[in-house]
Amino acid sequence: ESGCWWESGLVMKTCAKKLGGAHDTVPNASYSLKDKLTALMVIIGATKSGRPLDAEHPYGHGKVEFILSMVVSVVFIVLTGYLLVHAVQILLDESLHRTPHLIVLWAALVSIGVNVGMYFYSRCVAIETNSPLIKTMANHHHGDPTASGAVALGIIGAHYLNMPWIDPAVALWETIDLLLLGKVVFMDAYRGLMDHTAGE
């Protein structure tokens, strides 16, 4: 539940980016949406996986968290595929290159601090609960400060180095990073669902 409240605070970052005219608004907001969905899945997964054994589920409900992780990863792989095409189009069209307002820089710096705090918090919870979903959330929070740091560098480059193309380049990098992250989460969930025999 704490994850949902913390992620709600990142609405400020998204609004600032939109008002500031940054091209990476949607990709960077996708990081926040991804974490919000993961937090929701954690709540659902904790409720379902904690149920006692029954006739239909003699081995328990532990796999439900892996299924939910896979759902999150598939949704974001599809979404990010669309964003990737959009980011490439903007990067190649010089008429769309513009320098964002400095309010975006301050929003990115605040986002870095929030996500670093969320990473350490969710990592501790993941260790205590041994939950695959919370581990996924912690990994997501670990990548978010890097993305916000790239945004900050892009804004600095656009403003002080007169290179407005850096902003759409950061948007492209963020979409590629989201695709790779979605793949990692999907494969982790897949391995969690599959039962492997011990090696000889």
- Please indicate, yes or no, if residue 75 is contained in any of the structural domains: yes
Of the pLDDT bands very low, low, confident and very high (cuts 50, 70, 90), residue 176 is confident
Residue 103 lies in a domain: yes
In this structure, is residue 198 part of a structural domain?
no
| 200 inside domain | no
Percentage of residues in the chain having pLDDT higher than 70 = 62
CA distance 74 to 106: 32
Q: What is the number of other CB atoms lying within 10 angstroms of the CB of residue 71?
A: 14
Residue with tokens 């929701």: 40
pTM for this model (two decimals)? 0.61
105 within domain boundaries: yes
Q: Residue 82 sits in a domain of what CATH number?
A: 1.20.1510.10
Residue 177 scores a pLDDT above 70: yes
Q: Is residue 104 part of a domain?
A: yes
pLDDT value, residue 113 = 84
Q: Which domain holds residue 7?
A: 2-193
Nearest alpha carbon to residue 75 among 181, 193, 188? 181
Q: Provide the number of structural domains found in the chain.
A: 1
C-alpha to C-alpha distance for 48 and 2, rounded to whole angstroms: 19
- Give Cα separations from 42 to 35, 65, 137 (angstroms): 10, 8, 9
Cα 16 to Cα 10: distance, rounded to the nearest angstrom = 10
174 lies in some domain: yes
12-26, 78-92, 123-137 — which is least confidently predicted? 12-26
Q: Give the C-alpha separation, 150 to 136, whole Å.
A: 22
Give pLDDT tens digits for 35-83: 666 667 666 666 665 555 555 544 445 677 777 778 878 877 887 888 7
Q: Is 199 domain-assigned?
A: no
